[in-house]
Amino acid sequence: MLNEHSVLVTGGTGSFGQKFIENIINRYPRVRRVVVFSRDEHKQFDMAQRFPVEKYEQLRYFIGDVRDKDRLYRAMERIDVVVHAAALKHVPTAEYNPFETIKTNIIGAQNVIEVCLERDVKKVVALSTDKAAGPINLYGATKLCSDKLFIAANSFKGLRDLKFSVVRYGNVMGSRGSVIPFFLEKRDKGILPVTDERMTRFNITLQEGVDFVLKCLERMWGGEIFVPKIPSFRITDLAEAVCPGCRTEVVGIRPGEKLHEEMITETDALSSLEFDDHYVILPALQFMDADEYMKKNGGRLCPDGFRYNSGTNSEWLTVNQIRELIRENCDPHFEV
């Protein structure tokens, strides 16, 4: 799919960006060019030690910010595929620095869209988050705006051969700032701070997230929000998996935090389709017909009242499964 094409990844030095680029250069040996676009000089330096341009001649490291439209324009010369992963994503940081978050997550998203239109890019996938579904914090609200911008771009692309779609998934196991590394740090003290014992989360590994984005690049018509079917875990089971016998200390839900993650709201479900391994939220704008989409791609309409919520999910990780995933994705030396 990506052989003989050029790819640009915004936020290319983040957790997802680095894993995605690693997959591209290993799985598509004839990829023409891969542009790592990010604003962090130090992370680019570290990444260039892992993937030196002397060995990976298709790699290009571009310092730049999605807020800077001119720099995006220069970086997207002869680019075919864009994966937009750049964002300010930490909830407390967003609450304290609201307009900085808006400038990156919303204005930056519009800059990406406009430059893709100007540079004749063919496919664009933007990464979203569960927090964009029924948002209760600024980060989620900005990502919902970003999602709307990318989907709506399909309606004013004109005659260009260009498709915009969005991929939305939840908690990435072991990513920076997530709960598992936090618990692993705290377990030596014998006390794990738990926000609420009823709390649940979706779980996806970094590799599963990369694989899903690559599949969506193949499947996309333009205008979809793709949501993977993934398991949930209970925060109490995670605590038991990390440190059985540890005392848990309930500290209360933090501002802007949900008890359960949600990726498809009951309202979204009215225009959503279910497939074997994923869901598709079709756009509210009527440039895509659900019957035509199902005829071409399969799938079935979600039932009335459906919502995709980590607390009512049908698939759950056991304590032993959580432990195995920690070994595979967070700490290969992890032992109970």
- How many C-beta atoms surround the C-beta of residue 103 within 10 A? 17
CA 131 to centroid of chain Cα atoms: 11
DSSP notation for 83-151: EE------HHHHHHSHHHHHIIIIIHHHHHHHHHHHTT--EEEEE--GGGSS--SHHHHHHHHHHHHHH
Q: Are 151 and 206 in contact (CB under 8 A)?
A: no
Which residue in this structure is represented by tokens 């571009």? 62
The SS3 call for residue 44 is: helix
Q: What single-letter amino acid sits at 313?
A: N
Q: What single-letter amino acid sits at 160?
A: R
CA 55 to centroid of chain Cα atoms: 29
Distances (CA, A) of 76 to 15, 69, 159, 232: 22, 11, 20, 38
Which residues belong to the active site?
131
Question: What is the C-alpha separation between 18 and 28, in angstroms, rounded?
Answer: 15
Instruction: Read off the tokens for 159.
Output: 């005659």
Residues 62-86 as b/e (b if ≥16 CB within 10 A, e otherwise) read bebbbeebebbeebbeebbbbbbbb
Question: What is the C-alpha separation between 84 and 80, in angstroms, rounded?
Answer: 13
Question: What is the C-alpha separation between 85 and 100, in angstroms, rounded?
Answer: 17
